Amino acid sequence: MNETASVVVVGAGPAGICAAKALVAAGLRPVVIDEGLRAGGQIYRRPLVDDGRSATDLYGSEAAKATRLHREFDALLPSIDYRPQTLVWNIADNQLHLTANGVHQRIGFQNLILTTGATDRVLPFPGWTLPGVYTLGAAQTALKAQGCTIGKRVVFLGSGPLLYLVAWQYVKAGGDVAAVLDTAPFAAKLNLLSAIRFDPRLVLTGMSYAARLVRRGVKLHYNVRPTGVDGSQHVEGLNFKSGAKTHSIACDAVAYGFALRAETQLADLAGCPFRFDDRDRTWLPATDDAGRTSCKGIYLAGDGSGIAGADAAEISGELAALAVIQDSGMAADPRRMSVLAGARRRKAKLRDILEKAFPFPQNWFDQIPGATTLCRCEEITVSSVIDTVHGNDLRELNRLKALSRAGMGRCQGRMCSAAMAEILASTQKLKLPEIGRLRAQAPIKPLPLSLHEAGS
Amino acid sequence: MTRRFSADVAIIGGGLVGSSAALALRLAGLSVILMDKGFCGAQASGVNYGGVRRQGRPMGQLPLSQRAHQIWPQLNALIGIDGEYQRSGHLKLARTPEDFAKLEHYAETVKSFGLDLELYTGAMAKARFPWLSGNIAGASLCPDDGQANPRLVSPAFAKAARDAGAIVLEHTAVHAAVHTNDGFALQAGADCEITCRFLINSAGAWANKIAAGFDEPAPLSRIYPSMVVTEPLAPRLPVSLGEEGGGFYCRQVTRGNYIMGGGRGYALADPDFSRPSTTAALSVMKRATTLFPHLAGAHVIRFWSGTEGQLPDNNPVIGPSGTTPGLFHAFGFCGAGFQVAPAVGAILCDLVTSGETATPIDAFSIERFRNMSSQHNEKKGTHNEMVE
Ligand SMILES: Cc1cc2nc3c(=O)[nH]c(=O)nc-3n(C[C@H](O)[C@H](O)[C@H](O)COP(=O)(O)OP(=O)(O)OC[C@H]3O[C@@H](n4cnc5c(N)ncnc54)[C@H](O)[C@@H]3O)c2cc1C
């Protein structure tokens, strides 16, 4: 017999932890499933083994929050059914399909809160598949979880608040940061001034990273477009344009990313309707203010429901739990819910401004040489995708996947679909929402072929 | 504003059957309108396993299958790509001596068709195919059978038909079709009216609605074969492989991925979309690990499924309508229509242009279901039909 839980929370980052906490406070015993070894999620990721680094070493200005969330989660352990190192890879018929240690299990749910977080939004550039090029998130994971840097001399490239944060974390950990290359013009940063009133601490801390980097002698460049990576086996340097000037920097690693993209495959498999979000330039599961989807019993919170950051994830996690509680006919404090909903809306406004300060590089693909790899799993180039679009007059993303093979590999488009969508839309002069979105298919991440049912 | 079209032939359904008919008819000089409710080649024809096999088919299908066998090597000339078609051989395994006896019997029965089947007992099979493991009572190899990439082949037939001058209307579902004095009148999409002299119903798993509209319903049901694909791996499996009874089939594509199938998925709330079943996928994965120990440590990256029309006697409907002159049906390929489809297109062209065809198709007449009560519609999963 498969078990059925009254509430399952998928993900143990800030959203999942806060959801679990509110559920426990209401007397429920949620199942909390997380792919990671230790709870905390990406931002408050813990070292795989404690290595003597303090919370301040690891999380800087966010140390107090990280410590509090870790402590709160540890205190919840007796009251929840916690399943670390467990991947949820499918949802069908109100059941989650899980794997842990090569064993397949199913667990039914009455209520499900998906807090699946985000990964880096990746855009290809010449050389991005050379060993030594990492995403910003991966650079951060290396530092937090493994206590190592991705190289001896690292260039940070891209856009988004993470760019300066991770660069600063590297400097502080004793890393050699060769340069920070922002794809946005400097003028875009002036937008931050109007964000101060929404969250002075966050914005000022964010701005201080740039100032501190400069004080440590790290070169900042704006309006950057990378033109190539030096090296044949491994990164030896990065070439880029900043305005009209061309530059070249010696380095042995590049960390790059363009803000984040929500991990929405489980919501898709659960059948949640999606809506197009202009700010995140992608399709997101549609929810109400409290994270309810139109699928009965399915709720979303955190960056997996739209990029909003760690503080917003805490708010939306608690809100989704209160919505579950309310919808189950139990008492949920309506005042608390409206306070949280208000706070969530303010965070959303802040995000609108941050997007202006770290804008998406609109003309990216005008400058990408056709020979650049777009889909690294299937080794498909930008030009072969464009040829497929032209050759078949394609206007829909799933068709482009079927005919070009881009997005069909190990990552199932998680890494390349944002870029693929931009290329299809700009090649055909269509708007992003007009070309549809890749349908998720199970398993959402690769599974061992030798996977077997529990007990068999 | 209404868009009006008229052509010699209108085709409902741009799967491989409809698209290859469209191409053949264009090459024969007729004007053609091909309509699909979605994208051409995005349903069964574009998502199937990719087995291009004659071995295992009932005798009645072999002439048809042989005709298709002549067409497959000409893909380059016909549609401009080879579609990854290769005559890799199709190896059918028997798990038990009884199953092997069935393979021997089959080989004897179809001898006159020239499939050149080679039979191997268990030990011989393992010597001849050293990558094979597990309990195998015997095997039958059809050396000239093979495999192709449906994702590329099927849309390319529709594109070739368009390039040859067919009007191809995608996202244009035909929702009404009536017989008129001089042919047919159709309504399709939001705003299309079509008149034509001949009408072809190649609407796959959806074809029965059209057939019923002409007073000849067929007991068509749907099946959703469940598929699994691994990450790319070093080339090892040279043949497309099936099993007597149909529980497992597997091939390794040029890029290195193993594609394997077996068992059934299920329809979503919108029955045009289906999902593979985890139970089916896991049992396929288990069978793969027994047959191929070299796959230990490999990962699977995706499951999928597709919608296929099934008829109770495991044979398709191909041929003229019993009620309406000028109407031709071709549907219900029971999980095995990919290989035969290009020949079905050619046969439809024969029928439209000359009223007859040299390929025997009497066994596929829709008339065989006349007077059949609708109870027969329910035939699900009990039979051991071969999907590949
Ligand atoms: C998962 C799977 C694996 C398979 N494996 C193999 C294999 O290995 N080897 C093999 O030989 N066969 C295989 N088959 C079977 C094979 O794919 C089918 O028999 C074959 O593709 C049928 O072709 P078709 O053109 O009749 O149907 P389809 O490809 O389904 O085409 C029918 C088309 O009609 C359109 N349509 C329906 N109604 C309307 C309407 N009212 N108006 C307009 N358009 C409409 C649909 O959108 C669809 O595109 C498999 C099938 C599946 C699903």
Query: Residue B382 has what pLDDT?
Result: 43
Interface test with B, best of A412, A449, A452 (most B CBs within 10 A): A449
Residues A110 and A126 in one domain: no
Query: Residue A42 has what pLDDT?
Result: 86
Percent of chain A whose pLDDT exceeds 90: 84
Domain total of chain A: 3
The answer to whether the Cβ–Cβ distance between A441 and B302 falls below 8 Å is yes
Residues B194 and B326 in one domain: yes
Establish whether the linkage from the previous residue to B238 is cis, with ω within 30° of 0: no
Nearest Cα residue to B44 out of B304, B219, B321, B375: B304
In the reported structure, the alpha carbon of residue A23 is separated from the centroid of ligand 1 by a whole-number distance in angstroms of 47
Instruction: For residue A103, tell me if it sits in a domain.
Output: yes
CATH of the domain at A155: 3.50.50.60
Query: Residue A195 has what pLDDT?
Result: 87
Instruction: For residue B326, tell me if it sits in a domain.
Output: yes
Percent of chain B whose pLDDT exceeds 90: 87
Nearest Cα residue to B125 out of B110, B112, B135, B111: B135
Dump pLDDT digits (tens) for B240-269: 999 998 789 999 999 999 999 999 988 888
Dump pLDDT digits (tens) for B51-89: 999 999 999 999 999 999 999 999 999 999 999 999 999
- How far A433 CA sits from the closest chain B CA (Å)? 18
Query: Residue B174 has what pLDDT?
Result: 98
B201 lines ligand 1 (CB under 6 A): no
First to last CA, chain B: 44
First to last CA, chain A: 13
Contacts of A449 in chain B (CB under 8 A): 230, 285, 288-289, 295-300
Contacts of A388 in chain B (CB under 8 A): none
How far is it, in rounded angstroms, from Cα B56 to Cα B314? Answer: 12
Nearest Cα residue to A358 out of A124, A128, A187, A137: A187
* pLDDT for residue A255 is more than 80: yes
B69 lines ligand 1 (CB under 6 A): no
Residues B243 and B360 in one domain: no
Which residue from A104, A408, A410 is facing B282, i.e. has the nearest CB? Answer: A104
Residues A17 and A33 in one domain: yes
Angle between helices B337-354 and B150-163 in degrees, nearest 10 = 20
CB atoms within 10 A of CB A342: 12
In the reported structure, the alpha carbon of residue B277 is separated from the centroid of ligand 1 by a whole-number distance in angstroms of 19
How far is it, in rounded angstroms, from Cα A25 to Cα A37? Answer: 25
Among candidate residues A283, A311, A332, the one where a domain is terminated: A332
SS3 per residue for B319-342: EECCCCCCEEEEECCCCCHHHHHH
Let me know if A327 is exposed, middle or buried by CB neighbors in 10 A (0-12, 13-18, 19+): middle
SS3 call for A216: coil
- How far A368 CA sits from the closest chain B CA (Å)? 26
Which residue from B42, B277, B300 is facing A446, i.e. has the nearest CB? Answer: B300
B258 lines ligand 1 (CB under 6 A): no
Which residue from A399, A409, A451 is facing B301, i.e. has the nearest CB? Answer: A409
Residues A298 and A236 in one domain: no
Residues B195 and B233 in one domain: no
Mean pLDDT of chain A: 94
Query: Residue B380 has what pLDDT?
Result: 45
Instruction: For residue B337, tell me if it sits in a domain.
Output: yes
How far is it, in rounded angstroms, from Cα A436 to Cα A35? Answer: 29
Residues A83 and A176 in one domain: no
Among candidate residues B305, B330, B361, the one where a domain is terminated: B305
Name the pTM for this structure.
Answer: 0.94
Q: Which two tokens stand for residue B2?
A: 């209404």
Residues B126 and B183 in one domain: no
Instruction: For residue A177, tell me if it sits in a domain.
Output: yes
Domain total of chain B: 3
Residues A35 and A71 in one domain: yes
Residues B119 and B266 in one domain: no
Among candidate residues A241, A258, A275, the one where a domain is terminated: A258
- Whole-number CA gyration radius for chain A: 22
* Bridge partners (DSSP) listed for residue B4: B193
Instruction: For residue B132, tell me if it sits in a domain.
Output: yes
Amino acid at A158: G
Residues B116 and B255 in one domain: no
Query: Is B285 an interface residue toward A (CB < 8 Å)?
Result: yes
SS3 call for A99: strand
Instruction: For residue B56, tell me if it sits in a domain.
Output: no
- How far B300 CA sits from the closest chain A CA (Å)? 5
Query: Residue B373 has what pLDDT?
Result: 55
Contacts of B150 in chain A (CB under 8 A): none
Q: Which domain holds residue A86?
A: 3-119+261-332
Residues B323 and B258 in one domain: no
Residues B324 and B211 in one domain: yes
Residues B106 and B245 in one domain: no
Residues A105 and A133 in one domain: no
Instruction: For residue B55, tell me if it sits in a domain.
Output: no
CB A121 within 8 A of CB A259: yes
Instruction: Report residue B381's pLDDT band, with 50, 70 and 90 as the boundaries.
Output: very low
Nearest Cα residue to A60 out of A159, A253, A216, A202: A202
CB atoms within 10 A of CB A271: 15
B276 lines ligand 1 (CB under 6 A): no
Among candidate residues B275, B305, B335, the one where a domain is terminated: B305
Residues A8 and A96 in one domain: yes
B93 lines ligand 1 (CB under 6 A): no
Residues A226 and A130 in one domain: yes
CATH of the domain at A393: 1.10.10.1100
Residues B296 and B325 in one domain: no
What letter does residue B375 receive in the DSSP assignment?
G
Taking CA atoms, B234 is separated from A217, A395, B134, in Å, by 49, 34, 21
* pLDDT for residue A172 is more than 70: yes
Nearest Cα residue to A448 out of A205, A204, A100, A130: A100
CB atoms within 10 A of CB B8: 17
Contacts of B277 in chain A (CB under 8 A): 92
Q: What is the mean predicted confidence (pLDDT) over A181-192?
A: 93
Phi, psi at A61, each rounded to 5°: -65, -20
In the reported structure, the alpha carbon of residue B206 is separated from the centroid of ligand 1 by a whole-number distance in angstroms of 9
Instruction: Report residue B318's pLDDT band, with 50, 70 and 90 as the boundaries.
Output: very high
In the reported structure, the alpha carbon of residue B200 is separated from the centroid of ligand 1 by a whole-number distance in angstroms of 15
Q: Which two tokens stand for residue A431?
A: 């708007």
* pLDDT for residue B14 is more than 80: yes
Dump pLDDT digits (tens) for A13-64: 999 999 999 999 999 999 999 999 999 988 888 888 888 889 888 888 889 9
Residues B239 and B373 in one domain: no
Query: Residue A62 has what pLDDT?
Result: 86
Residues A126 and A254 in one domain: yes
Mean pLDDT of chain B: 94
Residues A135 and A63 in one domain: no
* pLDDT for residue B375 is more than 70: no
Query: Residue A226 has what pLDDT?
Result: 96
CB A326 within 8 A of CB A336: no
How far is it, in rounded angstroms, from Cα A280 to Cα A304? Answer: 12
Residues B96 and B243 in one domain: no
Q: Which domain holds residue B372?
A: 3-48+151-220+312-387
